[in-house]
Structure 1
Amino acid sequence: MTADTPAALNPHHHADVSGGWLRPAVFGAMDGLVTNIALIAGVGGGGVAPGSIVLTGAAGLVAGAISMGLGEYTSVRTQNEQVAAEIAKERRELERFPDAEAHELVQTWTARGLPRELAEEIAAVLRRNPEEALRVHAREELGVDPDERPSPWLAAGSSFLCFSAGALVPLLPYLLGFERLWLALAVGGVGLFVAGALVARFTSRSWWGSGLRQLLLGSAAAGATYLIGRLIGVSGGI
């Protein structure tokens, strides 16, 4: 395709918004960062030893990654099963009440401004192609495409890996031999900002605005758990 070819002629000129990987990946990475930054801030604020902070962070990473992966798999699988049940119901209605279903499409399209004669003509053509009629009815009535349902395995894997990567970031200073809480929180803050800036690549937001938003949200969570750690901790201090 040449530079002056209309983008609409390229079937891949839009981003994939229904593949099922971006949302769990972003959710996993952000949750991993915020969860472990907050955990480390809380136990660090309570004055526990660096070894205990590492143990807490490692446990949070493993438990959180497994939980996120299982949760994403279950939720996406359940959603797909619900969609499949609704599509099966729509298929039965098309077989039993084709006239009523065609009339429903005509009413929908005319309400959007399509001439009634044209809407009736399209509905009549669809009746001669049951599979295409099912796809159109699914999009119009359910807001889904039967051929583009997200993969629960892809969602689970994306969430698991990205949560693990995010949760590892604030642990890195301790794993490298540094035992300062402020350094772990600073590294975590950089991770939050970078993650937010990277997410902006898939949206229309500015990279710095997205990064700053995520940094502020994560800082609020870390500040809350740090204060709780200071209040109920046994030795206090950084």
Structure 2
Amino acid sequence: MSHSQHFESLKKQLQIEVDTAFLYESIAHIQTDENLKKVLEALAKIEWGHAKRVLKNIHEIKPEYSMASPSLRAKIQFKLGKVFGYESIINSLAGIEAQVGKSAIKSKLQKGEGLTGFEHNHLKIIEAVRDNEKVNVSGTILSQFEGRHKSVGGNALRAAVMGANDGLVSNMSLVMGVVGAAVSNTTVILTGTAGLLAGAISMALGEWLSVKSSRELYEYQIAIEEEELDASPEEEKKELVLIYRAKGMDEDAAQKLADKQFENKETALEALITEELGIDKEELGGSPWEAAFVSFFLFAFGAIIPLLPYFFTSGRNALYLSIISSFFGLFTIGAAITLFTGKNVFYSGFRQVLFGLSAGAITYIIGSWLGAAIV
């Protein structure tokens, strides 16, 4: 590695440490549980320590280099967390800690050093924080959004981006196809509007069915578990003890915890639902209608972008404006994706533009060919 490459690598590492510390601190400030708050603040303090060590290494190359500030990406990520929920940030931090742990192990193996077993400690801590039911990760608007897209990324922000992207790319391709066929402006508007409504309704229906069917499945499993608890409570307790032991508890501790949970039926059922079925009861709280409405809105928001110019102008002017507006829409979506991928904003943005406009160009060519063939 050259001198300049080493410097750039250290700069990137410093920014990651600073951003990680900033996000730990920011999430700590919104916690109501004092213990979780102290854990997150301690992690932030450790990350600031890492940042100082990296800065010390940088000073060996450039003594005048100063400590980095939290990046715009990290600040936007936290701001969006207020709306979409902080789960994406927690998952992002877990990903960073996993990568750091792997790098530490790889480095030690290359140097011939022995592993301590503590390389993934930070990952274990942040995963424990994420899984703690007391942790506050909720947003204000889309925290109840569930279903097909949410399962892809595990959070509402990703669902929002993907929903808007689906609408934009699919309707842009449809609009470009009919424009290529040289139809009238009115036909473009009618076709684009039909595509917007058809796609948005389809997405909303799919989201409603997804949330509704998931809830019905969970409720069915819980009902069966409740019947089993009524029929054979001792057998269910034994199963719970085995689950706790499988998680690493010794026999006495597992038995005591199971006895505590089985002091009354409500806590026993709660424990069995969580430990045996692996169901988070909060997943039952999402409204199918709310999920359907949000899905409809997100798809429609993306789908209107390439269609909007045709309401105000026509012909080539409308086509060029549609392409320009789609360009900016696609770039914005690509840039938004970097909030949870960590990729370069311009790389991700222009990649999204390339794929999206390529789809539009293909349908435009097919539409031109079909239009000429039919005429």
Q: TM-score range by the shorter chain?
A: 0.7 to 0.9
In 2, Cα distance between the equivalents of 1:156 and 1:191? 23
Q: Conserved in 1, the CA contact under 8 Å of 2:204 and 2:293? A: yes
In 2, Cα distance between the equivalents of 1:229 and 1:80? 43
Deviation at 1:211, TM superposition (A): 3.7
Distance change in 2, residues 1:143/1:190 (3 Å): farther
- Which aligned pairs between 1:1-238 and structure 2 lie closer than 5 A? 5-6=37-38, 7=40, 11=134, 13-15=136-138, 19-20=144-145, 22=156, 25-149=160-284, 150-180=286-316, 181-201=319-339, 203-206=340-343, 208=345, 210-234=348-372
Deviation at 1:59, TM superposition (A): 1.0
Please list the CA deviations of residues 194-234 of structure 1 after superposition, one character each: whole Å capped at 9, or x if unmatched: 13433544x35347255445434433432432332233222
Please list the CA deviations of residues 33-83 of structure 1 after superposition, one character each: whole Å capped at 9, or x if unmatched: 111111012112222233221211111112222222222112211111111
SS at match of 2:244: helix
SS at match of 2:313: coil
Q: Conserved in 1, the CA contact under 8 Å of 2:305 and 2:325? A: yes
In 2, Cα distance between the equivalents of 1:39 and 1:221? 10
Q: 85-94 or 105-114, which moves further after superposition? A: 105-114
Q: Conserved in 2, the CA contact under 8 Å of 1:25 and 1:155? A: no
Q: What amino acid is aligned across from residue 280 of structure 2 in structure 1?
A: D
TM-score (norm 2): 0.55
> Highest relative contact order (Cα 8 Å, sep 6+), 1 or 2?
1
SS at match of 1:30: helix
In 2, Cα distance between the equivalents of 1:155 and 1:207? 31
Q: Conserved in 2, the CA contact under 8 Å of 1:18 and 1:148? A: no
Q: 81-90 or 96-105, which moves further after superposition? A: 96-105
Deviation at 1:127, TM superposition (A): 1.0
Distance change in 2, residues 1:119/1:167 (3 Å): same
Q: Conserved in 2, the CA contact under 8 Å of 1:173 and 1:183? A: yes
Distance change in 2, residues 1:120/1:34 (3 Å): same
Distance change in 2, residues 1:198/1:11 (3 Å): farther
Q: What amino acid is aligned across from residue 291 of structure 2 in structure 1?
A: A
SS at match of 1:20: coil
Q: What amino acid is aligned across from residue 173 of structure 1 in structure 2?
A: P
Deviation at 1:133, TM superposition (A): 2.3
Q: What amino acid is aligned across from residue 227 of structure 2 in structure 1?
A: R
Deviation at 1:159, TM superposition (A): 0.6
Please list the CA deviations of residues 87-138 of structure 1 after superposition, one character each: whole Å capped at 9, or x if unmatched: 1111111111222222222222222222221111111111113222222222
In 1, Cα distance between the equivalents of 2:327 and 2:29? 43
Q: Conserved in 2, the CA contact under 8 Å of 1:37 and 1:188? A: yes
In 2, Cα distance between the equivalents of 1:207 and 1:139? 39
In 1, Cα distance between the equivalents of 2:133 and 2:274? 22
Q: 168-177 or 214-223, which moves further after superposition? A: 214-223
Instruction: Give the unaligned 5+ runs of structure 2.
Output: 1-27, 41-128, 147-155
Distance change in 2, residues 1:130/1:70 (3 Å): same
Question: Aligned pair count?
Answer: 235
Q: 209-218 or 56-65, which moves further after superposition? A: 209-218
CA RMSD of aligned residues (A): 3.1
TM-score (norm 1): 0.83
Q: Conserved in 1, the CA contact under 8 Å of 2:167 and 2:298? A: yes
Instruction: Give the unaligned 5+ runs of structure 1.
Output: none
Q: Conserved in 1, the CA contact under 8 Å of 2:185 and 2:314? A: no
